[in-house]
A and B are shown apart, each in its own frame.
Chain A
Amino acid sequence: GQQVMQIPQYQHVQEGEDFTTYCNSSTTLSNIQWYKQRPGGHPVFLIQLVKSGEVKKQKRLTFQFGEAKKNSSLHITATQTTDVGTYFCAYAGNNRKLIWGLGTSLAVNP
């Protein structure tokens, strides 16, 4: 079935280091969404990418959609302890369902 691979599963960084999570699909995606879930919280929508090669920034977060629309990345510059959480990607499958990656859990050492 449709699926998306999200890597890495876990990442542990020192505060101030950069962090990147990747979302890879074997099929072309119509769009991709990114969510953040803080420990004990619920997923919160961050952004949606639709166009091939699209790059969007939110302060220290940079989101990219690949030229072939088969992969996406979320890059955080100079992580802070407030960045701790699990980052999920999700895309619209062809069966009218959102397909979710398993998430990347980010831990930040102060």
Chain B
Amino acid sequence: EAQVTQNPRYLITVTGKKLTVTCSQNMNHEYMSWYRQDPGLGLRQIYYSMNVEVTDKGDVPEGYKVSRKEKRNFPLILESPSPNQTSLYFCASSLRATFNQPQHFGDGTRLSIL
């Protein structure tokens, strides 16, 4: 089944403890992206990747890192999480990075930083 898989689905952790949210897609998609969703603020893009080894900042990249060493994986790294990074995170992918492609979303990761 074609899908975008995120792990973990839920995580409660403490300030400063490094964490990684994994994202994997099995559709051979070129483009992958991370969003955070907060009430009243909609979907805000954190980072995106046009292809392997090509990443770029979105609208709210501060406090986050990403890497794209393989086409299927696009992990989101919080080196030193802070409470303002408590949010619902979505990974998304699309076939091509031409922006006329549907975005396929993972089920989301709810992070709580205490």
B100 touches A50 (CB 8 A): yes
Which residues of A lie under 8 Å from residue B103 when comparing CB positions?
A: 33, 35, 43, 45, 90, 98
**Which of B43, B100, B104, B106 touches A48 (beta carbons < 8 Å)?**
B100
Total interface residues on A, using CB and 8 Å?
22
Number of residue pairs A-B, CB distance < 8 angstroms: 53
A25 at the binding interface (Cβ < 8 Å) = no
A88 with B48: in contact, given A42-B90, A45-B102, A45-B104 (CB under 8 Å)? no
Interface residues of A in 61-103 (CB under 8 A from B): 88, 90, 92-93, 96-98, 100-103
CA distance A102 to B50 in the complex (A): 24
A48 with B97: in contact, given A97-B48, A100-B42 (CB under 8 Å)? no
A92 with B100: in contact, given A42-B107, A43-B105 (CB under 8 Å)? yes
Which residues of B lie under 8 Å from residue A101 when comparing CB positions?
A: 42
A-B contact pairs, 29 of them (CB 8 A): A30-B99, A31-B100, A33-B102, A33-B103, A41-B107, A42-B90, A42-B105, A42-B106, A42-B108, A43-B43, A43-B90, A43-B92, A45-B102, A45-B103, A45-B104, A48-B102, A88-B42, A90-B103, A92-B100, A96-B56, A97-B45, A97-B58, A97-B99, A98-B33, A98-B103, A101-B42, A102-B40, A102-B41, A102-B42
**B interface residues with partner A (beta carbon < 8 Å):** 33, 40-45, 48, 50, 56, 58-59, 90, 92, 97, 99-100, 102-108
